[in-house]
Structure 1
């Protein structure tokens, strides 16, 4: 189980692979805008001009209605024009009409490490409300280090299979040593295969790429919908380029001022909140495999099942990957992102308790983006690379985890220990963090809509409240419900408020609740 600070939308959890893109860039025109960051030096505008003036060459890319291209960006924004560039894969679906075009709407599904192109082509470009798709060119990109954009690579498929099975609730010194060795092996693999890009995949770098994309697309302002981690990317952009902010929706918000340790502990509590909702619902169902007691009793039965799997994994249909505690926990967490997956989770748990772990393994595979061929998307590699660069590690070593275990287990009796140990991964990262926790203000930006779901498992509601309060022009929109993120998930109230903002520029009143 490696679920630490993996923040992405439900649609990316349950699927969405895009196509391999091809394309080239040539000369053209674009708008140049730069701003300073407290974490990194400000780029030289003159040296950046050729990047903003490139012209994207669009071509069909295998999915009907979508076009693809590739954008060049400097590998190191402190030294643009040095000949060291990265390729940023981009895709779009041109506005379908009718109505006056409003420019581009850039979307991001979260992660970090989630493929924006996969999200666009499998969901956003065809599933966003028709009036929005009619008037905006729907656009996304794989952020640097992700899938088609100079991807971070770390482990082979068989190595990842082994890594995802490592026990992350160590019971003794030997198991602790095995877990530390796994984190070190993961980090060493990333360094060996991706040393060139590892220092340059921070969220600040991705935000600067997003302004470059805005300029290359010919948009004066950035219109953007970011989900989950995508809210941090969007808020970072707004803080860097407040004068370039158009209509920004930040759905399932992160709190950028929370240090890594607190983020991980908050997220642990978020999953406990989601599990409590699942447990209450499960107890009402005749097929609940965890019994019909209180949420605490249901949770204790699940913990007992995890302990049994820790001692003796069950068959999963893949002899090399029996269902042990680590994979089972990841499978359960995957299903907690969306309440519509609760029936699937009940069935998977019932089967696993009867000796067939295939259902929970399938949920874990969807979370890790493992294909049937045994190959993994680079989600987990990019996730670690960005997280470990954006903030100093949550823990310095195993002793620090031991000290924090009581608070994590209080936050979630079921998941606390595993999520605490998962947060140790950045302690062994080969590149020192370049960012730090800080408030993002975006002073002078126009209204930015921040959306929070009250029982969100991955991005607790308090994070949305915090981000809306930090942003100079933040407007909080609340969904009283379950699941991760709110836009496009069935609430007419939420969808109408966001659609009106995107189409008419009229944000909901601050504090609106749905």
Structure 2
């Protein structure tokens, strides 16, 4: 199972979903109508839509109350922008109206790919500052292929359980063959059940949808906060519509120029860095479950735990029949690394796992995958793979993944195999990739703020440096911290810089590094 690049947060206990988790898979909210005070830079004019697309830009949204102060609607976009008169699909939207003097709309995306922007916007009161919410209608949307926007569906919950259970760290030719068979089955199922959608779920088409939403919402320039994969969506938008940008915050950045398998390796190293930071913190706590008192020793203990789970599944007390093998255990370890506040959860879960009970790790893995107690899944696992496979060129030869896994394992012994083999379904994908791994410059766009966290497990800091340097107007804002993404995670320095930029278009000084929060 490919590890998701998502702006997710993890709850403080394995059994309770909280505001933080809700922030992981939230959807985009629909924008309120009315006049806009659009504080764009002088001389930057929005690009007008073509005549064929004008009906989409001029459509009127039918907003309805959907609880807790939110309003929901659906916008119509062409399935294929090359033939806008053809089939149309709906994009689900949600909005939380501004509480003060309104500037315009702020679109938000939590990442993934596959994260629901509608769900994410539901947590707007915690994922955005009061200052920002006062000035903007917060808009969440499910990108095409995701959530409630023509979702890609491939497998039943039982089949997805089997797919996730595949041994993603194969030790024998038979295990490699089983992984090949299971990955091909996933790709085949998607090709059979979602053939109509698969060619059109890529990031470029989703970015074009965002520009339609910008027009429908009445904003001459797009204001946007994207986290994790959402940074790629924002960067692609800026490259397609540089004159339509007002302010983009790209937090937990993805470097679009890194080749797909190299990107996997770099991400695996990021998880190793985060794991070491977790272990260093763990030794300062009396409840740390490791017998060793060194990071190196604890890393070895974790390796032994995963090896044991590979040979003999850990105990599962949920009563759902799943075997907690190495793949499930790795997902359970990775998930709490996304947020420092969840590290106590990981300490407790590992303590139980060392005693043979992997139930808490399984619960954490279910949070990562958005698997429900009844065994059903949201569609984020399927949409994640579908978007990745059409966005990036992946090798077709299994030997390339085997070679990549061997190299990644040298620098990321706990996660290298897992992340690398997780992309194998793309080798069998029925749709050729549309995207290429290349630099994005967005020539002509106003300043774009790229945020990177020094020990981010999922989107390493070097990716933020890479994206900021590629963008012709990129401004790098760093944070010396732990966890995935930086805005609204505890740093007043980051929060102020982002708020000032979104509201007043005052970008931080290039290369600003916000200090670690103690």
Q: TM-score, normalised by structure 2?
A: 0.91
Given candidates 8, 17, 23, the residue that maps to 1:10 is 8
> For residue 103 of structure 1, what is the aligned residue in structure 2?
104
Residues 194/472 of structure 1: CA separation in 2 closer, same or farther (3 Å cut): same
Q: Distance in 2 between matches of 1:20 and 1:111?
A: 12
Contact 1:125 / 1:138 at 8 angstroms: preserved in 2?
A: no
Q: Distance in 1 between matches of 2:176 and 2:138?
A: 47
> For residue 63 of structure 2, what is the aligned residue in structure 1?
58
> For residue 476 of structure 1, what is the aligned residue in structure 2?
476
Give matches, 1:260-299, under 5 Å: 260-299=260-299
Residues 500/22 of structure 1: CA separation in 2 closer, same or farther (3 Å cut): closer
Deviations 1:206-254 (A, max 9, x none): 0000000000000000000000000000010001001000011000001
Deviations 1:443-492 (A, max 9, x none): 11111110000111111101101111111111110000111100000000
> For residue 50 of structure 2, what is the aligned residue in structure 1?
45
Deviation of 1:286 after TM superposition, in Å, equals: 2.5
Q: Distance in 2 between matches of 1:179 and 1:210?
A: 37
Q: Does structure 1 residue 73 correspond to structure 2 residue 81?
A: no
Q: Distance in 2 between matches of 1:231 and 1:20?
A: 15
Deviation of 1:116 after TM superposition, in Å, equals: 0.2
Deviations 1:392-422 (A, max 9, x none): 11x3333222222332012211111222221
Q: Distance in 2 between matches of 1:420 and 1:22?
A: 34
Contact 2:366 / 2:372 at 8 angstroms: preserved in 1?
A: yes
> For residue 85 of structure 1, what is the aligned residue in structure 2?
88
SS at match of 2:468: helix
Give matches, 1:189-338, under 5 Å: 189-317=189-317, 318-338=319-339
Residues 484/20 of structure 1: CA separation in 2 closer, same or farther (3 Å cut): closer
Q: Distance in 1 between matches of 2:271 and 2:325?
A: 20
Deviations 1:240-274 (A, max 9, x none): 00100001100000111111111111101111110
Residues 192/22 of structure 1: CA separation in 2 closer, same or farther (3 Å cut): farther
Aligned Cα root-mean-square deviation (Å): 2.0
Q: Distance in 2 between matches of 1:347 and 1:489?
A: 22
Q: Distance in 2 between matches of 1:474 and 1:187?
A: 36
Comparing 368-377 and 283-292, the one that deviates more: 283-292
Deviation of 1:505 after TM superposition, in Å, equals: 1.2
Q: Distance in 2 between matches of 1:321 and 1:367?
A: 16
> For residue 28 of structure 1, what is the aligned residue in structure 2?
none
Deviation of 1:292 after TM superposition, in Å, equals: 3.4
Structure 2: runs of 5 or more not aligned: 12-19, 31-44
> For residue 366 of structure 2, what is the aligned residue in structure 1?
365
Deviation of 1:189 after TM superposition, in Å, equals: 1.2
SS at match of 2:329: helix
Give matches, 1:499-514, under 5 Å: 499-514=499-514
Residues 55/12 of structure 1: CA separation in 2 closer, same or farther (3 Å cut): farther
Contact 1:12 / 1:119 at 8 angstroms: preserved in 2?
A: no
Structure 1: runs of 5 or more not aligned: 24-31, 36-43
Deviation of 1:160 after TM superposition, in Å, equals: 1.0
Comparing 412-421 and 235-244, the one that deviates more: 412-421
Give matches, 1:18-37, under 5 Å: none
Deviation of 1:296 after TM superposition, in Å, equals: 2.2
Q: Distance in 2 between matches of 1:405 and 1:215?
A: 44
Q: Distance in 1 between matches of 2:72 and 2:379?
A: 20
> For residue 350 of structure 1, what is the aligned residue in structure 2?
351
Contact 2:449 / 2:476 at 8 angstroms: preserved in 1?
A: yes
SS at match of 1:493: helix
SS at match of 1:161: helix
Q: TM-score, normalised by structure 1?
A: 0.92
Residues 505/20 of structure 1: CA separation in 2 closer, same or farther (3 Å cut): closer
Residues 273/20 of structure 1: CA separation in 2 closer, same or farther (3 Å cut): closer
SS at match of 1:10: coil
Runs of 4+ in 1 over 4 A off after TM superposition: 17-23, 32-35
How many residues align structurally? 490
Contact 1:392 / 1:433 at 8 angstroms: preserved in 2?
A: yes
SS at match of 1:479: strand
Q: Distance in 1 between matches of 2:106 and 2:275?
A: 34
Deviation of 1:19 after TM superposition, in Å, equals: 9.9
Deviation of 1:18 after TM superposition, in Å, equals: 8.1
> For residue 172 of structure 2, what is the aligned residue in structure 1?
172
> For residue 421 of structure 2, what is the aligned residue in structure 1?
421
Deviation of 1:129 after TM superposition, in Å, equals: 0.7
> For residue 39 of structure 1, what is the aligned residue in structure 2?
none
